[in-house]
Amino acid sequence: MSMVDKARNALQSFTGRTKRSAGRVSRDRKLEARGAAEKIGGDIRQVGENVKDTTR
């Protein structure tokens, strides 16, 4: 569960970063905001996984 979740969270963070960059380049504020939110979601989940791993 943890390796799959970590990979999924990293992928979500990466896609969010990509969407945010694409939004900046194309000057699409909505895409930029969606990408930033997706990246933050992935980062928060990664922190949660790290906390779970340290408590084991």
3-state secondary structure the chain: CHHHHHHHHHHHHHHHHHHHHHHHHHCCHHHHHHHHHHHHHHHHHHHHHHHHHHHC
CB 24 within 8 A of CB 32: yes
Give tens-digit pLDDT for 22-45. Answer: 999 999 999 999 999 999 999 999
- Judge contact between 13 and 43, C-beta under 8 A: yes
Question: pLDDT at residue 10 above 80?
Answer: yes
On the 0-12 / 13-18 / 19+ scale of CB atoms within 10 A, 35 is buried
